[in-house]
Amino acid sequence: MTEPTLKQPVIKQHGLVIKTHSGFYTVQTDQAKYICQLRGRLKDQSKRTELCVIGDRVTFEVNADGSGAIEAVEPRERVLSRVEPSNFAGTSTEREQIIIANPDQAIFVFAVANPEPHVRLLDRFLIAAEKASIPSICICANKVDLIGEEAARVLFATYEKIGYPIIYASAQQNVGIETLRERLHDKISVFTGPSGVGKSSLLNAIEPGLARAVKSVSLATTKGRHTTVNSELIPVIGGGYVADTPGIRSLGLWDIEPGELDAYFVEIHPHIVECRFSDCTHVDEP
């Protein structure tokens, strides 16, 4: 008589995708990190869509060797995406590229001077974040030591008036750092802005070494043609994650028709119903 083979119980785990790297996904559970791959069935689907990105919550099975096989990706609450840079001249079919799933918060960092705030870019960021329905959106105005907080407030008055929280900060003089630290706590945050505005300095002021971790991710993910974008959520001490990928920095607006753009300008939104043009661009129309 042969011994009945004891079936190993299948252990299913749930976790958060904190890193993607050429078909491998690092998944953080409450207890540990697992390096996972997609189950075959999902792998086929993932050729067509971005099935698994940072910020996704997944169910996976732990293999005998300790690695994991992702069985299912939970439906996303929201995504922040951009237009994927076209691969080759001539084949410029635009494709959505999901930068991050389920971000809780976006913090857009600009300097009050050196470099001067690039408000058009800030508007783009804000629209992308509104479109993605990111629940918490705020602006960080750094380098207030250069012109003083009063002058800084004048620069960002419009944004303050339309309701965006603005954190006036100076990484150099430790201003606003505690507020930023509290904001990052327990959230998945997109923390981005143009280069030279002091993002690294702010992150390091919040937590020594945080910027280095973020930067090494960004450098490893240069624009590349059809290389997969490797992205990472960097854990913050005490809970929460910061994401900053080059993808976020070169945010091209995805899937927004000129006629619907007004809906994402929070100051225009309440007046849309009063406008007589349904596809108003609010440029030349009376």
Residue 187 binds ligand GDP (CB under 6 A): no
Residue 143 binds ligand GDP (CB under 6 A): yes
Residue 82 binds ligand GDP (CB under 6 A): no
Residue 218 binds ligand GDP (CB under 6 A): no
Exactly one of 61, 104, 130, 145 binds ligand GDP (CB under 6 A); that residue is: 145
Q: How far is the CB of 234 from ligand GDP (least distance, A)?
A: 14
Name the nearest CA neighbour of 43 among 81, 84, 86, 73: 73
Q: How far is the CB of 203 from ligand GDP (least distance, A)?
A: 8
CA distances from 19 to 11, 116, 136, 183, 250 (A): 22, 33, 23, 22, 20
Q: Is residue 247 exposed (0-12), middle (13-18) or buried (19+ Cβ within 10 Å)?
A: buried
Exactly one of 146, 220, 253, 266 binds ligand GDP (CB under 6 A); that residue is: 146
Residue 245 binds ligand GDP (CB under 6 A): no
- Structure tokens given for 281: 């661009």
Q: How far is the CB of 193 from ligand GDP (least distance, A)?
A: 6
Residue 201 binds ligand GDP (CB under 6 A): yes
Residue 172 binds ligand GDP (CB under 6 A): yes
Q: Which amino acid is at 98?
A: I
- Size of residue set near ligand GDP by CB under 6 A: 14
- Structure tokens given for 266: 């929070």
Exactly one of 15, 68, 117, 198 binds ligand GDP (CB under 6 A); that residue is: 198
Comparison of 146 and 272: residue with beta carbon closer to ligand GDP = 146
- Structure tokens given for 216: 């090494």
User: Where do contacts with ligand GDP occur on this chain (CB under 6 A)?
Assistant: 142-143, 145-146, 170-172, 195-201
